Structure 1
Amino acid sequence: MRIIVTGSIAYDYIMVFPGRFREHILPDKMHVLSVSFLVDSLKRMHGGTGPNIAYNLALLGERPILVGTAGEDFGEYRAALEAAGVDTSGVRQISGEFTASCFINTDLQDNQITAFYAGAMAHAATLSLHEQALGPDDLVIIAPNDPAAMARYAEECTALGIPYLYDPSMQAPRLTAEELEQGFRGARILTGNDYEFGMMAEKLGISEAALRRRVPITVMTLGEAGALITVGEQEYEIPPAKPARLVDPTGAGDAFRAGFVKGLLAGCSWPVAGRIGALAATYALEQSGTQQHRYTLAEFIARYRENFGDSEEIETLLTPRVTME
């Protein structure tokens, strides 16, 4: 089994403004808004849903294949992902484009002003999963990306009979009910947080309970309350793992998805797979940035036991899976 991860590939530009935005915005001049903020710091960090998920899968011992589009500035990012254990052979660099970029300016009250530039991501729909020569034993992760690309990958997976995890999450507000239904049609797993599930249910005109049974397996993350896994009529409440510190929630959802998928592929029960996801998310919470955390499998297993007790199933993470080439 191979794991194909599709999703946005982006740089995150993180800025901190040492003041409060509201003190520089005049309510009666909002119609002619023109403001400039001098920031104290700027960091360029690796991001994007596809690489985030792939990076966390690599930490857990997998060799995922990342599929997506990036710009001419992707060289350094590609090298870092390869060094981490991610196969980037499925990433196409687009001539004349920059890699998608997210510019986030945060003030002292944690208010944010964000701008997102799609750049090379706008070409993601030009890629086809047929190029990967996939089979029914493989798994495709369709994470937030250019909507046309997400639709194409879901359609190709359905036509080829390839199981896929569908994760509309941050693109849910943009997708229509028809587009969501198309994504659900052949999905084996649907993931998102509780707010996103509520939004999707409202768009479809159904209850959240009905949405959680729209596909064979749904995984709804609940922030600090953990997660809820629904398999048919059976539901499993997943407790959160305890973070050593809370630094940045960005990327925690992607880490959870990677951990859950790892547990699924390792043959773990639903509760254990969910707990693996919860622990993977906690590592992301403890660092600034989505790919700054590190751990060995032995360290991960030891921390799992600290949070959730002993389990013979968790030992399966130390057994390498046989990957068919």
Structure 2
Amino acid sequence: MKEIVITGSVAYDYLMRFPGSFREQLILDKLDRISLSFLVDDMARHWGGAGANIAYNMGLLGMRPRLMATVGRDFSEYRLWLESVGVDTRAVVVIDHVFTASFFANTDNENNQIASFYGGAMAYARHYSLANTLDVQPDYVVISPNDPQAMAQLVEECIERGIPYMYDPSQQLPRLDGETLRRGVQHAHALTVNEYEWNLLSRKTGMNQDEVLGCVKVLARTLGKNGAEIFADGQHYAIPIFPTDTITDPTGVGDAFRAGLLCGMYHGWDWDITGRVGALCAAYAIERTGTQTHRYTPAEFVARYRQVFDDRGALQALLLPR
């Protein structure tokens, strides 16, 4: 597995904080004519998007994933950021007349939130295939949340070209119909979901765990505070959480965990080690606000891992020159 391509969304997250209460600004008998503006105390812009998050975390681990996505004319600074950790952005297509997908969230002092999502350039992903975007045949593809039609098309292209893929529908589960999801699962090499997503996927596809395991080689399911579990090679691996001093923001934790899985798969590590690598990746993410604000070197990662878990020497591979 040399050439790993990550497909998925690239987005900016604009997070604002209103020092009052939204509720107190609403006039109950005028809800049919709302016209409000909130002066916020602070705003932070974070880099995000599922595809970019996965690629970023893989880069921190010393890998060089290739990111395939559609972005807007405001991507130049983001590109430099991703490339600074080793992400290959040559397959990122810039759509000049739109902006990169953006999430705008305003949160009040009661933790109520008013948010909007602008799809922007993400909607153009359906117009690009692996064949017309890449100059090589990938060894492995990750299909993470993106334009729903693009995700379905990538499944079909991977099937047709015999490319193994990790299916990660997560945030787009509500938008993908049961038949599309079922086809994505049936031909996937690996399926990654959290506990809630698993229940939704099972309901929409009508597939139980045994049916899914009859299709995929790997099922990785995150369980929040209970860690994660991996089904692979006919075995069940219970993966504990990695202990953290602080829990700041769970956003992007799943993407970080997936990056750890991909790193372990790339190096051919045992699944118990691979899962724990994912757990440590998730720990780094949950300790910071923003999905790409954490940073570490491979040496720092290995040292922290060995404070808690025994890697049986496997992680020495992360310390070798790229």
Length-normalised TM-score, structure 1: 0.93
Amino acid at match of 1:227: A
- Inter-partner Cα distance in structure 1 for 2:178 and 2:68: 26
How many Å separate the matches in 2 of 1:103 and 1:318?
39
Change (3 A) 1:205 1:26: farther
Counterpart pick for 2:134 among 132, 135, 142? 132
Using the alignment, how far apart are the partners of 1:26 and 1:239 within structure 2? 48
Instruction: Return the alpha-carbon distance in structure 1 between the equivalents of residues 3 and 64 of structure 2.
Output: 8
1:164-188 per-position Cα deviation (integer Å, ceiling 9, x unaligned)? 1110000001110011022123210
Amino acid corresponding to residue 93 of structure 2 in structure 1: R
Aligned-partner SS, 2:43: strand
What's the CA shift string for 1:77-123, capped at 9, x where partnerless? Answer: 11111122111100111121111101111222333222110001110
Per-residue CA deviations over 1:168-218 (Å, capped at 9, x if unaligned) read 000001110011022123210111111011001111223355445542211
Residues 87 and 25 of structure 1: CA distance in aligned 2, closer, same or farther (over 3 Å): same
- 2:232 maps to which residue? 231
Tell me, in whole angstroms, the C-alpha distance in 2 between the residues paired with 1:14 and 1:212: 39
For 1:102 and 1:185, the matched residues in 2 are separated by 32
Aligned to 2:107: 106
1:178 is matched with 179
- In structure 1, the partner of 2:265 is 264
Q: Residue 208 and residue 113 in structure 1: after superposition, are their counterparts in 2 closer, same or farther (change >3 A)?
A: farther
Q: Deviations over 1:24-67 (max 9, x none)?
A: 33455444444332211111111111111111000001111111
**Structure 1 134/186 Cα, relative in aligned 2: closer, same or farther at 3 Å?**
farther
Q: Equivalent residue of 1:73, what SS?
A: coil
* Range that drifts further, 56-65 or 206-215: 206-215
Q: Which range is displaced more, 142-151 or 311-320?
A: 311-320
Partners of 2:234 and 2:141 in 1: CA distance: 25
Alignment correspondent of 1:218: 219
Cα gap change, 1:213 to 1:16, in 2 (>3 Å): farther
Which segment drifts farther, 103-112 or 280-289? 103-112
**Is contact 2:65-2:87 (8 Å) kept?**
yes
1:246 corresponds to: 247
Give unpaired runs (5+ residues) of structure 1. Answer: none
Contact in 2 for aligned 1:189/1:215 (Cα 8 Å): yes
Q: Please tell me the residue identity of whatever aligns with 1:226.
A: G
Q: 1:28 to 1:194 in 2, by over 3 A?
A: farther
In the TM superposition, 1:287-306 aligns within 5 A as 287-306=288-307
SS in 2 for 1:182: helix
Structure 2 alignment gaps of length 5 or more: none
Shift of 1:287: 1.1
CA contact (8 A) 1:7 1:142 kept: yes
CA distance in 1, matches of 2:69, 2:215: 27
Partner of 1:69: 70
Distance 1:27 1:307 in 2: 54
CA distance in 2, matches of 1:91, 1:182: 26
Report what 1:18 is aligned to: 19
Amino acid at match of 2:308: N
Shift of 1:13: 0.5
Tell me whether 1:255 sits opposite 2:256 in the alignment.
yes
Amino acid at match of 2:75: F
Cα displacement (A) at 1:264: 1.2
2:318 alignment counterpart:
317
SS of residue in 2 equivalent to 1:261:
helix
For 1:225 and 1:209, how far apart are their aligned partners in 2?
22
Take 2:271 and 2:286, find their aligned partners in 1: how far apart are those partners? 23
1:39 & 1:283 partners in 2: Cα distance?
29
Residues of 1 paired with 2:278 and 2:89: CA distance?
A: 23
Q: Is the contact made by 1:213 and 1:233 (CA closer than 8 Å) also made in structure 2? A: no
Secondary structure in 1 matching 2:288: coil
Aligned mates of 2:115, 2:210 — CA distance in 1: 33
Aligned twin of 1:123: 124
Alignment of 1:47-62 (within 5 A): 47-62=48-63
- Residue in 2 that maps onto 1:148: 149
Deviation at 1:229, TM superposition (A): 0.7
